[in-house]
């Protein structure tokens, strides 16, 4: 190495370390900017495809937020509302064939999706709710398989946002710390579960639930949309400046 020659920038007959420092910093900045622009573009595309770009509340949504504190609530049995829950079937990790079907098991990581399988299993429809062995309820907006530590509540016929509201009500009743490795939550426990729901004319007010969740979704997504729009405008300004 003592005999190896390397080329470096020079200024005033000295190695120009300042130039090297600024040059590398500029390269890093450009790389970060390119990554950020790509991520923002992906976010923008996602918001557009999912219809989440519209964060303006309708009059009905504004009213739902105001009326929430004066709602009438009633306790309902889960089986009476949606019929008997279904228990998934065991599929050992060693027996799983790689595929495209999400396979739901107990746990919070990846929303409980432990693998994507190609096995011939019972397929549960989207817009349904799962409750795992610990009593943790999750809304599913996709078709999936489930193992024997998961109970499926058949909320498929509800409007999407109403089903999300119901899932939250289920989680509040089931995820109380009562269930663990020694006392698992099963489908029979789901059938015995009572949940509180807004009521109108002695029936669950699914229309109100859907409107309320839609309003909450818009409030949550608003800052994300504004952030994405601001970053897109900044990126366009930088590109226009470079092209001048």
Interval 110-162: pLDDT, tens: 899 999 999 989 999 999 999 999 999 999 999 999 999 999 999 999 999 99
In tens, the pLDDT along 189-218 reads 999 999 999 999 999 999 999 999 999 988
At residue 180, the pLDDT reads 84
Handedness of CA 167, 168, 170, 176 (dihedral sign): positive
Lowest mean pLDDT among 76-80, 86-90, 232-236: 232-236
pTM: 0.75
Q: Label residue 45 by pLDDT band (50, 70, 90).
A: confident
| φ, ψ dihedrals at 130, nearest 5° | -110, 145
Confidence check: pLDDT of 165 > 70: yes
State the Cα–Cα distance between residues 115 and 92, nearest whole angstrom: 11
pLDDT reported for residue 32: 72
Query: In the beta sheet, which residues pair with residue 102?
Result: 116
Helix (H, G, I), strand (E, B) or coil at 179: coil
Task: Evaluate whether 193 touches 170 at the Cβ level (below 8 Å).
Answer: yes
């Amino acid at each position: 190495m003592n005999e190896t020659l390397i080329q470096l920038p020079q200024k005033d007959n000295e190695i120009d370390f300042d130039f090297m420092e600024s040059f590398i910093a500029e390269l890093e900045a450009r790389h970060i900017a390119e990554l950020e622009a790509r991520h923002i573009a992906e976010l923008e595309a996602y918001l557009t495809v999912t219809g989440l770009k519209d964060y303006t509340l309708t009059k009905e949504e504004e009213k739902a937020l105001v009326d929430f504190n004066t709602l009438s609530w009633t306790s309902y049995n889960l089986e009476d509302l949606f019929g008997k829950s279904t228990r998934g079937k065991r599929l050992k990790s060693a027996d799983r064939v790689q595929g495209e079907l999400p396979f739901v098991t107990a746990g919070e990581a990846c929303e409980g999706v432990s693998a994507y399988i190609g096995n011939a299993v019972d397929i549960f429809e989207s817009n349904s709710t799962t409750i795992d062995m610990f009593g943790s309820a999750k809304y599913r907006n996709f078709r999936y398989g489930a193992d024997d530590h998961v109970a499926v509540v058949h909320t498929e016929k509800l409007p999407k946002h109403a089903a999300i509201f119901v899932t939250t009500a289920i989680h509040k009743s089931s995820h109380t710390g009562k269930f663990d490795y020694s006392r698992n939550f099963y489908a029979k426990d789901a059938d015995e579960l009572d949940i509180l729901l807004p009521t109108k004319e002695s029936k669950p007010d699914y229309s109100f639930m859907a409107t309320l969740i839609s309003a909450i979704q818009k409030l949550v997504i608003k800052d994300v949309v504004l952030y994405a729009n601001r970053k897109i405008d900044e990126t366009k300004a930088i590109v226009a400046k470079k092209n001048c």
